Amino acid sequence: MARMKFLCDAERCIECNACVTACKNEHEIPWGINRRRVVTINDGNEGERSISVACMHCSDAPCMAVCPVDCFYQTEEGVVLHSKDLCIGCGYCFYACPFGAPQYPQVGNFGSRGKMDKCTFCAGGPEDNFSDAEFQKYGRNRLAEGKLPLCAEMCSTKALLAGDGDVVSAIYRERIVSRGFGSGAWGWGKAYPGGAS
Amino acid sequence: MSERLLSRIGICIAAASLAFTLSACRENEQDRPLTFEKGVYEGMPDQKLNEQDRGELRARTHIQQF
Amino acid sequence: MLSAWVLAVLAFVVPINPPAHAQGDAATSMPETLEGHGGPVRSVAIGADSAHALTSSFDYSAIYWGLEAHKGRELMRLEGHDAAVNDAAFVPNTDIAVTASDDGSVAVWNLDTGEMLKRFRGPGDKVLAVDVSRDGHYAASAGWDRRVRLYDLKELKELAAFEGHRGNVNDVAFSPDGETLYSASYDGTIQSWNVKERKPGRPIYSHGWGLNIVRALPDGKSLLFGSLDGSAGVVDIESGEVLVDLAVHNGPILSADIAVEAGMALVGGADGVVRVYRMADWILLHTFENPNGPIWGASLAKDGTAAMLAGLDDAAFLWQISPRKAFEPPMGEFPRRFQISADADPGERQFARKCSVCHTLTKDGANRAGPSLYGLFGRHAGTLEGYAYSDALKNSTIVWNDETIAKLFDDGPDVVTPGSKMPVQRLKSVEDRDALIAYLKRATDPSAASASGQ
């Protein structure tokens, strides 16, 4: 099986923000954190496009390279996850990520750094699958239930695609052929250079 | 004899060009070291998906086609 | 975007005369490194006199440096923040500096005495950046509470907390005349704020992708910006139009600086690439690649012949721009000190990966974020001399031994030593925990000759 990838078809995104809301509800994410958001570029101009952005689970993830405590790991499916037990909330990954994916909770106790939070591709974390600990720290583990990320599964225009990278890119290629143009699968080249798995 | 000589010359050229290539890759000439060891995750191991799950996920990816 | 690339390529093809350099150039008089921090350096600023610098670090401190020929001298260590210090700025024509920290506060310091003159405590969210107006009257901060704060440095009071950004604020910059403040946010916009009237100005530019960097350019009419999508450019303040697209980085833009007199601007990214442009026409003059990754902080010397750069290393280092000098990697076998061989003792590996970022095992604490663990067993918590403990630990009754250390990692510092500066860290497996404790016992024992883990 090819690795898991996200693809956002900017021609189809209607900026409805349903993916953002679905993600928040599914994982019961606290206030102030958005694992997914919709970015609008060229706002108000001719080239205006909206793109749904979260962690792209990069092939050669820059967050992994800068983490001072090596809290990241990549699953066999290519999903980039991290251990909140190891994370020291230093924020370095935030600055390394070209998609602005890492988030930090509003800190409660003075001086204590909040653990980084980001999109898990709905794959939970290192804790036991379906355990309370896993849900509390990382959210629901849909992949272990045989389901794909909710943001993509519920996207009404199918602007956001998730799953087997080969299948996802084949779907996108077909679309470009049938509509005759494509403004680009945003972030695809950056996250998966050379189509590497 | 001449064949041996030729092969020797060949080896010399190969060695020289290899040395040249390597020197061109020397760290200070590229202004950076060429190896960078990424850290290794040593946290709690995660559970892996089984083949059945993977099959389901692959099938579900196709559903997004329209 | 294409034109910028063409320019970038041309810059390599067409030789551009570097500024004539003579005796007294920054390049020939600046130290190669500024060594003294015990953690990665987050920012660096060369003073207007070219004889001093300020750095801020993950080790919870900032350092005031004297830049002497080829040697950086630590003049004052600014200690008092309770988390990483993200930015530090000089207040022109004074002996005062301003810092911003992950602990949510902005602090004003006397550089002669090292005294913290004032601490503005925010709501607790990270503060990423500070800027000071050229007349030294005002300071401003960029906070992850989504606010831009304005401070009066003469009266040492907070004047305003501007609300309007819909995401973390990552950077602030005063206009050259000090009347306007510009802020860049994760929400993808640059906003302006009226300093005198202390009220919102207007949105200047919407980039879509989050913005990490904003700098006011000396013409007073345009801003330099850098985004997390790797793009950087110059935007017109009046129209909000992008005037120049600069070379795209293969990672977020994290740093920028302007040398007004030399007419040069520098942009640095998470890809480790630093580019220097001539502001008159935005032609790319120089490119440099940092071997150890991101450029979190950068400061151009006044004459543009050198820059100090900061990143994952514990030291800021000099990039000699002209005359160009080959870069010598500052590190040994592994670029980061916690990377040790996989066949090391399991306890030693735990220490290297999870503790050594903040603690040493030797008598010398090396100015890390946490105290040295030398002689740890039997020590009363919060009693190592020379380390600035939080009140929580100063008043603690804990004595460190097998049981208390085991408890620390079972329940986490947030439970065992609440209010301390130690980030939440737990060890899930009993084996890892016991291996770490066994290693610590050996390596921190003052009577053992083998205490050389660092």
| DSSP category for residue A68 | T
Q: Is B52 on the interface with A (CB under 8 A)?
A: yes
If asked whether residues C213 and C135 sit together in one domain, one would say yes
If asked whether residues C309 and C355 sit together in one domain, one would say no
Residue C68 sits in a domain whose CATH number is 2.130.10.10
Which residues from chain B sit within 8 angstroms of residue A76, using beta carbons?
48-49
Which residues from chain C sit within 8 angstroms of residue B30, using beta carbons?
289
What is the average pLDDT across A164-170?
Answer: 93
- Put simply, the answer to whether B61 touches A144 (Cβ < 8 Å) is no
Query: In whole numbers, what is the pLDDT of chain B averaged over residues?
Result: 64
For an interface test with B, the pick among A4, A66, A73, A115 (most B C-beta atoms closer than 10 Å) comes out as A73
Quick one: pLDDT at residue C165?
95
If asked whether residues C225 and C289 sit together in one domain, one would say yes
Q: Is A137 helix (H, G, I), strand (E, B) or coil?
A: helix
CB C43 within 8 A of CB C294: no
Which residues from chain B sit within 8 angstroms of residue C334, using beta carbons?
37
Quick one: pLDDT at residue C177?
96
Quick one: pLDDT at residue C422?
80
Q: Is B37 on the interface with A (CB under 8 A)?
A: no
Asked if residue C18 belongs to a domain, the reply is no
Quick one: pLDDT at residue C342?
57
Asked if residue C13 belongs to a domain, the reply is no
Which residues from chain C sit within 8 angstroms of residue B42, using beta carbons?
349-350, 353
- Put simply, the answer to whether C326 touches B37 (Cβ < 8 Å) is no
For an interface test with C, the pick among A41, A52, A84, A94 (most C C-beta atoms closer than 10 Å) comes out as A94
Q: With bands split at pLDDT 50, 70 and 90, how would you rate the model's confidence at B30? A: very low
Which chains does chain B touch, 3 or more C-beta pairs < 8 A? A, C
Nearest CB to B47: which of A67, A129, A147? Answer: A129
- Can you say whether residue A28 is alpha, beta or left, with left for phi > 0 and alpha for psi between -120 and 50 degrees? left
* Cα A138 from Cα A157, distance rounded (Å): 27
Nearest CB to C353: which of B29, B37, B42? Answer: B42
What digits encode the pLDDT tens for the residues A124-141? 999 999 999 999 999 999
If asked whether residues C99 and C243 sit together in one domain, one would say yes
* Cα C106 from Cα C141, distance rounded (Å): 7
If asked whether residues C351 and C237 sit together in one domain, one would say no
Prediction pTM value:
0.76
For residues A121 and C349, which has the higher predicted lDDT (pLDDT)?
Answer: A121
Asked if residue C256 belongs to a domain, the reply is yes
> Which segments within A54-139 are labelled E, that is strand?
72-74, 80-82
Quick one: pLDDT at residue C63?
96
Closest CA–CA distance from residue B33 to any residue of chain A (Å): 15
Buried b (16+ CB within 10 A) or exposed e, C265-284: bbbbbbbbbbbbbbbeebeb
What digits encode the pLDDT tens for the residues A60-114? 898 998 887 789 999 999 999 999 888 888 888 888 898 989 998 765 444 446 7
Give the residue numbers spanning the domain of C149.
Answer: 26-320
Residue C371 sits in a domain whose CATH number is 1.10.760.10
ipTM above 0.95, yes or no: no
If asked whether residues C226 and C351 sit together in one domain, one would say no
If asked whether residues C309 and C373 sit together in one domain, one would say no
- Put simply, the answer to whether A90 touches C251 (Cβ < 8 Å) is no
If asked whether residues C239 and C387 sit together in one domain, one would say no
Domain boundary residue among C304, C320, C336? C320
Asked if residue C239 belongs to a domain, the reply is yes
Query: In whole numbers, what is the pLDDT of chain A averaged over residues?
Result: 86
Asked if residue C335 belongs to a domain, the reply is no
Quick one: pLDDT at residue A175?
86
CB C199 within 8 A of CB C154: no
Domain boundary residue among C273, C304, C320? C320
What is the average pLDDT across B22-49?
Answer: 57
Which residues from chain A sit within 8 angstroms of residue C226, using beta carbons?
none
Quick one: pLDDT at residue B10?
58
- Put simply, the answer to whether A70 touches B41 (Cβ < 8 Å) is yes
What digits encode the pLDDT tens for the residues C355-401? 877 888 888 877 788 899 999 999 999 998 888 888 888 888 999 99
Asked if residue C16 belongs to a domain, the reply is no
Quick one: pLDDT at residue B32?
35
Quick one: pLDDT at residue A106?
65
Q: Is B60 on the interface with C (CB under 8 A)?
A: no
A196 contacts: CB under 8 Å, gap ≥ 6: A59, A60
Q: What is the CA radius of gyration of chain B?
A: 26
If asked whether residues C351 and C293 sit together in one domain, one would say no
If asked whether residues C63 and C132 sit together in one domain, one would say yes
Q: Is A169 helix (H, G, I), strand (E, B) or coil?
A: helix
Quick one: pLDDT at residue A42?
79
**Residue B51 token pair:** 């083949």
Domain boundary residue among C280, C302, C320? C320
- Comparing alpha-carbon positions, the chain A residue that sits nearest to B49 is A144
Quick one: pLDDT at residue B36?
39
If asked whether residues C149 and C96 sit together in one domain, one would say yes
- Put simply, the answer to whether A126 touches B56 (Cβ < 8 Å) is no
Going from the C-alpha of C364 to that of each of A37, C121, C338, C385, C388, the distances in angstroms are 46, 31, 17, 11, 14
Asked if residue C6 belongs to a domain, the reply is no
Closest CA–CA distance from residue B15 to any residue of chain C (Å): 26
Q: Is C339 on the interface with B (CB under 8 A)?
A: yes
For chain C, what is the domain count? 2
Residues of chain C with pLDDT under 50: 1-23, 332-335, 337, 449-454
Closest CA to B42 of A76, A144, C412, A126: A126
- Put simply, the answer to whether C349 touches B42 (Cβ < 8 Å) is yes
Write out residues 26-55 of B within 8 Å (CB-CB) of C. Answer: 27-33, 36-37, 39-40, 42-44
**Residue A91 token pair:** 């924020």
Asked if residue C334 belongs to a domain, the reply is no
Closest CA to C34 of C324, C268, C336, C314: C314
If asked whether residues C72 and C117 sit together in one domain, one would say yes
- Put simply, the answer to whether C145 touches A95 (Cβ < 8 Å) is no
Quick one: pLDDT at residue C365?
75
